[in-house]
Structure 1
Amino acid sequence: MSKEGTEIRSMSHYDETNTERLVRKARDAPFMIVGLVGLVGVVGYGLYGFRNRQLKTSVYLIHMRVAAQGFVVLCLTAGISYNLFNEHIYPRLYPKSIEDKKD
């Protein structure tokens, strides 16, 4: 038997491709993907609107920054609410057994 077959791979994250890493992180934190999509959307909208703007450049950039920050705060709030619901409210509504309901 070779040494590699019996060795426990504690640092398996270093052997991942970028796609595997993105899939793993999406399973761990699904709101990260929503944040990345939102980032691409805000940047795309900002670049599109930059050509057709009626405002000064500095004011337009401030508006885009506020929109991006607002989206990040929205994603963080949604992620925290989702986790709190899964950890605290859902187990009380649907306990696994009768003993869990007594708590």
Structure 2
Amino acid sequence: MSAVEYDDNEESKFLKKAKENPFVPVGMAGFFAIVAYRLMKLKQRGDTKMSVHLIHMRVAAQGFVVGAMTMGVIYSMYKDYVLKPAEAQKALEHKALEHK
């Protein structure tokens, strides 16, 4: 296996995982965006202590990630318990029509 094939294989794994769980990259992007924004606002914090500013940054970033994870779990449950049974029901109906 060459290095190019290995890289393509690894990239396709990441894209496959991102397709299966689209909220993971969203959560990561949101986390880094919040941290970057709060770090840019560090000089404009006014009288707020550094520790309080960092705590607020951490809470905001963690809150976004937890929200993204929650949405991901809800999306996964929707796919597993709503879409798949509906597809299975359609397949059964289609199969029943073919046998008539």
| 1:86 matched residue in structure 2 | 79
Aligned-partner Cα distance in 2 for 1:85–1:28? 13
Q: In the alignment, is residue 67 of structure 1 matched against residue 48 of structure 2? A: no
Unaligned runs of 5+ in 2: 95-100
| 1:98 matched residue in structure 2 | 93
Partners of 2:27 and 2:65 within 8 A in 1: yes
Q: In the alignment, is residue 28 of structure 1 matched against residue 23 of structure 2? A: no
- Out of 32, 41, 44, the position equivalent to 1:49 is 41
Give the direction of change, closer, same or farther, for the CA distance of 1:56–1:83 in structure 2 (3 Å limit).
same
Indicate the SS of the match to 1:71: helix
Aligned-partner Cα distance in 1 for 2:19–2:58? 28
- State how many pairs are aligned: 87
Q: TM-score, normalised by structure 1?
A: 0.69
Aligned-partner Cα distance in 2 for 1:25–1:92? 23
| 1:8 matched residue in structure 2 | none
Deviations for 1:26-60, whole angstroms, at most 9, x for unmatched residues? 22321121012102211111111111102110000
Aligned-partner Cα distance in 2 for 1:89–1:25? 21
1:34 corresponds to which letter in structure 2?
A: V
Partners of 2:18 and 2:24 within 8 A in 1: yes
Q: Which has the higher contact order (CA 8 A, sep 6+)?
A: 2
Aligned-partner Cα distance in 2 for 1:25–1:69? 22
Q: TM-score, normalised by structure 2?
A: 0.70
- Identity in percent: 36
CA RMSD of aligned residues (A): 2.6
- Greater displacement, 35-44 / 65-74: 35-44
